Structure 1
Amino acid sequence: MKLSKELLTDSSTLQLPEKVLQFGTGVLLRGLCDYFIDKANKQGIFNGRIVVVKSTDSGGADAFAEQDNLYTICVRGIDKGVPTEENIISSAISRVLSAQSQWSAILETAQDPNISVVISNTTEVGLQYVEESIRQSPPASFPAKLTAWLYERFQNKQDGVVIIPTELIVGNGDILKDLVLKVSAFNNLPANFVEWLKTENSFCNSLVDRIVPGKPKGEALAELQNKLGYEDQLLLVAETYRLWAIQGNEKVKDVLSFAQADEGVKIANNIEQFRELKLRMLNGTHSLMCGMEYLSGFTTVKEALADDVTEKFITNLMMSEIAPAIPYKIDAKVAQRYGRDVLDRFRNPYLDHQWISITLQYTMKMQMRNIPLLLNYYKEFSTVPQYFTRGFAAYLLFMKAVKEENGKYFGEKEGELYPIQCDSAKYFYEVWQNHKPNEVVDAVLGNEQLWGSDLRKLKGFEENVTTHLSNMMAIGVREVAAALNVYA
């Protein structure tokens, strides 16, 4: 039996009006933002559903339509020391529209006076400027799509909306607003629209913090669905911990009434502390460790944390190098407490968070999350961060592509190929093909286009990364990490 509306004990939420336009169908949006909206709807607070925009056609029968746009959120984690399990059928989504084949229907939603919120998660790559006409069907880039939708709304004399990008970029709301203004200028849109854009719409910086590894596989999925009593193609697993910090004023709070349903939604005039803690200590640790742990033979995060060597390495990296290097003034006790929470989340026995999935867009994540930490660490301490350098060396080794096939690149671990899903994969393939390991380090660290500065100027950093990379290639990645722990 498939999941359908017949399985709902209360179907009243299915009659609620559409109040949210969401760009993206990813598990993070569905497991966090849509989770909060669904929870509020069931408490009779927000009373609005979500129209979801997906970027492409699925090419066949759509899972959302097949399941009446319902899906299951399986919450698993440790809450105040107690293991928790909760299965929720989310009815927050009203329909899913394809930008490729249903663009006119998406524009029609701009005419709906009930729509008051726009949410997006198009990954970090999505918030980039492209000079293009908004009159295409559809425009290619997300900023152009949003501009076209907002202009349609303006022409139909509708109120402005609260726009909340959740991409993991510093100042994501400010950046998106700037991109929309640039697209508007390129398209020669009228001055009164630009004024409406600036004064009647709220572009909110935001930060999302929840580990949502998505749909389990194999026996784990079969066991879950057997327990639920139905099949669900869209089922996802999410940890108990949840945070959606949104920068906004009282007007924004009034619109985002769903925040009242869960303490995990924080609306404040300043969210920098939330953002820095999450971006650096959770995401930054993930980014520095994913290549190292994958090449060390660990498949999942919890598996790595069960290993004494790895647990000590990650703890020391996070607490002694990342926390004190956060480029924002945060009380040391707050950072240490958050770090302990992160370690507990990493240990979550219910989640199979794959290291290989964390390597997606590896270089961009390193740029955004970790290089600012490295530069600030040197500014604060003028010495080499020993754990960081090993994480960076493992990143370079992971990016060593040995095969290219139809524009896709693959590395090799113990005779097996793995995908390098990174926009910089071609660059690293060519660097590794034409240079010795020490030359690779020199070329990559000196690439100011990648890092915004010449990392070779950081005293001792190049020498340390070169040594660790050489040792990793000679004796193994885990062995290099273990050797540091002996002397820590």
Structure 2
Amino acid sequence: MNSAYPRLDALQLPAQANRLLGGELGSPAIGIVHLGLGSFHRAHQAVYTEEAMLAAGGDWAICGVTLRDHPAMQEALAPQDMLYSVLTRDRDSERIQIVRAIRQVLVAPRQRDELMALLRAPQVRIVSLTVTEKGYCYDARTGGLDFQHPAIEHDLQHPDSPSSVPGLLVAALRARRSNPFTVLSCDNLAHNGHVLRQVVVQFAQALDAELAEWIAAEVAFPSTMVDRIVPATTDEDRAAVSSATGYYDAWPVPTESFRQWVIEDKFPLGRPAWERVGAMLVDDVTPYELAKLRMLNGTHSTMAYLGVLGGFETVDRAIADPDLHALIRNMMTEEILPTLSLPDSFDRLAYRDQLLQRYANPALKHKTMQIAADGSLKLPPRLLGTIADRIAAGASFSRLALGVAAWMRFLLRRTDSSSSYEISDPMAARLGDLASQSGGDNVVLMNSLLDLREIFPAELAGNASFRTELLGMLERLASLGARRSIQIVA
């Protein structure tokens, strides 16, 4: 702790901190349990919920749950009565907001009984999630639950002491037959509500067919689309909050002013008035979800892999390069936008330009290596689906192919300047072995990776035009490096 400043405290807030509250919140009861408490939730859904309670009231306070045996978040927030600061930065402005919506933090492996009691409580009407793609124990090959996942195997044998997301939800829903909570996925995952429903129902089916049938018929799993760039917190962020406010916050959250939340409006037990504070409540999230996955996430991943290879540490530095800026802009305009079906009211080119402006925000310092994590899960919805649509239309996809090739070269764990790094991915060991066994041979590398059905659908992996384009990009990256390849392909 920085002893030069008093700790952020609910009972004795410094005068400056009082001016950073949005109004009188009162003492709302917990109505939402959020699984996967991290910086994104604290900068996104928790902020919307705080503002919704300020606008319209309601008992919608949040209990945040850390699913791993890692108490750092709890230890940071508990001495602050769960308060924290959101540090919103744009190119020329900075704003700090104190958020109070989270009233409790639990560490699931250490407080499982307390968590299960809360999930069973009628006051909890929504269970939301940001657990990343891997938290769903989803098998892309089968389109359902991964029954070989160690956590699933454990939970099916010990259903009363679950550790996986499907196991936790089924255990709680078993006790909520009269008034089941709504299960709200907020992850960057295509059709996230459908995917979550699928794995939960299949897990229940393996235990109790009647329970599974009831969950499928009675429990709501709305889909959502979420968007806000939230870099990892640094000591510089902590120092900035202290300097600006006069208090010390152990874990503030840096973010941008832009935020977006599109929600399928399906909440049998009610919900906060999120629409009062900028969220879009719609009948079908799919068009917005696809636009975000392909336009933002797809180009983000492309920048991440090319950025790591080419020595661009952060997104703003990457997009400041004229050649990479041109590549990303042209990828959006010529290769991604034509694959989207959006309402006529949605200004596609304005959305493109807004994304480019967001990438250029130097205040966020969003690291390309951070975005590069979990590529085996991110590649299919972010890039491969777009490529498949372009092939079906008989259209070009060279920039998209460069993004996939950059991911393959990224697995060799060496930048163009010969710096080494480690990869973070649920398939890291297998991917690393395949990359090492290729000996840097592009054909061997491509063929071994295209054989991974968890990532590449058979139809795409066997497509001759895809293989030809991809191999050409791999050879270009190997011989010319990322920066020169960007310049040529842009």
TM-score range, shorter chain: 0.7 to 0.9
In the other structure, the counterpart of 2:149 is: none
In the other structure, the counterpart of 2:272 is: 257
Q: Are the counterparts in 2 of residues 321 and 385 from structure 1 also a CA contact under 8 Å?
A: yes
Give the Å deviation of 1:100. Answer: 0.7
Equivalent residue runs for 1:190-209 within 5 Å: 191=210, 193-194=211-212, 197-209=215-227
| Aligned pairs, number | 461
Give the Å deviation of 1:452. Answer: 1.2
Q: Are the counterparts in 2 of residues 18 and 114 from structure 1 also a CA contact under 8 Å?
A: yes
Q: Please state if 1:300 is matched with 2:314.
A: yes
In the other structure, the counterpart of 1:36 is: 48
Structure of higher RCO (CA pairs closer than 8 Å, 6+ residues apart): 2
Taking the aligned partners of 2:118 and 2:240, their CA distance within structure 1 comes to 39
SS at the partner of 1:274?
helix
Which 5+ residue runs of structure 1 have no aligned equivalent? 402-410
In structure 1, which of residues 75, 79, 86 is the aligned counterpart of residue 88 of structure 2?
75
Q: Are the counterparts in 1 of residues 329 and 356 from structure 2 also a CA contact under 8 Å?
A: yes
Give the Å deviation of 1:200. Answer: 4.3
In the other structure, the counterpart of 2:148 is: none
Taking the aligned partners of 2:157 and 2:221, their CA distance within structure 1 comes to 20
In the other structure, the counterpart of 1:97 is: 106
In the other structure, the counterpart of 1:286 is: 300
In the other structure, the counterpart of 1:237 is: 254
Give the Å deviation of 1:312. Answer: 0.8
Taking the aligned partners of 2:64 and 2:207, their CA distance within structure 1 comes to 26
In the other structure, the counterpart of 1:467 is: 472
Q: Please state if 1:151 is matched with 2:174.
A: yes
In the other structure, the counterpart of 1:370 is: 383
Residue 419 to residue 164, structure 1, CA distance change in 2 (3 Å): same
Q: What residue identity is the alignment partner of 1:246? A: I
Q: Are the counterparts in 2 of residues 134 and 187 from structure 1 also a CA contact under 8 Å?
A: no
Taking the aligned partners of 2:434 and 2:214, their CA distance within structure 1 comes to 48
Give the Å deviation of 1:12. Answer: 5.5
Instruction: Calculate the TM-score normalised by the size of structure 2.
Output: 0.87
Taking the aligned partners of 2:39 and 2:45, their CA distance within structure 1 comes to 10
Quick check: 31-40 or 205-214, which moved more?
205-214
Give the Å deviation of 1:424. Answer: 2.8
Residue 449 to residue 47, structure 1, CA distance change in 2 (3 Å): closer
Q: Please state if 1:125 is matched with 2:156.
A: no
Taking the aligned partners of 1:379 and 1:312, their CA distance within structure 2 comes to 25
In the other structure, the counterpart of 2:365 is: 352
Which 5+ residue runs of structure 2 have no aligned equivalent? 1-5, 138-144, 146-151
CA displacement, residues 125-180 of structure 1 (integer Å, 9 cap, x when unaligned): 111233533855631210110111122233xx5x2222211122222212222222
Q: What residue identity is the alignment partner of 1:103? A: R
Quick check: 131-140 or 335-344, which moved more?
131-140
Q: Are the counterparts in 1 of residues 96 and 241 from structure 2 also a CA contact under 8 Å?
A: no
Give the Å deviation of 1:457. Answer: 3.9
Q: What residue identity is the alignment partner of 2:305? A: G
Q: What residue identity is the alignment partner of 1:287? A: S
Residue 164 to residue 59, structure 1, CA distance change in 2 (3 Å): closer
Taking the aligned partners of 1:149 and 1:363, their CA distance within structure 2 comes to 31
Q: Please state if 1:320 is matched with 2:334.
A: yes
In the other structure, the counterpart of 1:45 is: 57
Quick check: 471-480 or 53-62, which moved more?
53-62
Q: Please state if 1:181 is matched with 2:201.
A: yes
Give the Å deviation of 1:412. Answer: 4.9
Give the Å deviation of 1:321. Answer: 0.9
In structure 1, which of residues 16, 19, 23 is the aligned counterpart of residue 35 of structure 2?
23
Give the Å deviation of 1:301. Answer: 0.9
Give the Å deviation of 1:482. Answer: 1.1
In the other structure, the counterpart of 2:141 is: none
Q: What residue identity is the alignment partner of 2:316? A: K
Q: Please state if 1:213 is matched with 2:231.
A: yes
Taking the aligned partners of 2:232 and 2:344, their CA distance within structure 1 comes to 33
In structure 1, which of residues 450, 453, 458 is the aligned counterpart of residue 458 of structure 2?
453
Q: Are the counterparts in 2 of residues 438 and 466 from structure 1 also a CA contact under 8 Å?
A: yes
Quick check: 66-75 or 41-50, which moved more?
41-50
Q: Please state if 1:336 is matched with 2:349.
A: yes
CA displacement, residues 416-475 of structure 1 (integer Å, 9 cap, x when unaligned): 321211123333322233332222123323444431125454344333332332232233
Taking the aligned partners of 1:417 and 1:212, their CA distance within structure 2 comes to 26
In the other structure, the counterpart of 2:96 is: 87
Give the Å deviation of 1:208. Answer: 0.7
Taking the aligned partners of 1:194 and 1:429, their CA distance within structure 2 comes to 38
Q: Are the counterparts in 2 of residues 21 and 117 from structure 1 also a CA contact under 8 Å?
A: yes
Equivalent residue runs for 1:379-394 within 5 Å: 379-380=392-393, 382-394=394-406
Q: Please state if 1:228 is matched with 2:245.
A: yes
In structure 1, which of residues 414, 429, 440 is the aligned counterpart of residue 445 of structure 2?
440
Q: What residue identity is the alignment partner of 2:420? A: L
Taking the aligned partners of 1:449 and 1:95, their CA distance within structure 2 comes to 37
In the other structure, the counterpart of 1:407 is: none
Q: Are the counterparts in 1 of residues 310 and 416 from structure 2 also a CA contact under 8 Å?
A: no
Taking the aligned partners of 1:186 and 1:93, their CA distance within structure 2 comes to 34
CA displacement, residues 198-220 of structure 1 (integer Å, 9 cap, x when unaligned): 454321111111111131x2445
Percent of residue pairs identical: 24
Instruction: Calculate the TM-score normalised by the size of structure 1.
Output: 0.87
Q: Are the counterparts in 1 of residues 159 and 171 from structure 2 also a CA contact under 8 Å?
A: no
Q: Are the counterparts in 2 of residues 164 and 205 from structure 1 also a CA contact under 8 Å?
A: yes
SS at the partner of 2:156?
coil
Q: What residue identity is the alignment partner of 1:74? A: L
SS at the partner of 2:458?
coil
Q: Please state if 1:426 is matched with 2:429.
A: yes
Taking the aligned partners of 1:66 and 1:57, their CA distance within structure 2 comes to 19
Residue 362 to residue 110, structure 1, CA distance change in 2 (3 Å): closer
SS at the partner of 1:422?
coil
Taking the aligned partners of 1:122 and 1:390, their CA distance within structure 2 comes to 29
Q: Are the counterparts in 1 of residues 162 and 168 from structure 2 also a CA contact under 8 Å?
A: yes
In the other structure, the counterpart of 2:123 is: 114
Give the Å deviation of 1:333. Answer: 6.8
Q: Are the counterparts in 2 of residues 23 and 53 from structure 1 also a CA contact under 8 Å?
A: yes
In the other structure, the counterpart of 1:165 is: 185
Residue 456 to residue 465, structure 1, CA distance change in 2 (3 Å): same
Quick check: 131-140 or 337-346, which moved more?
131-140
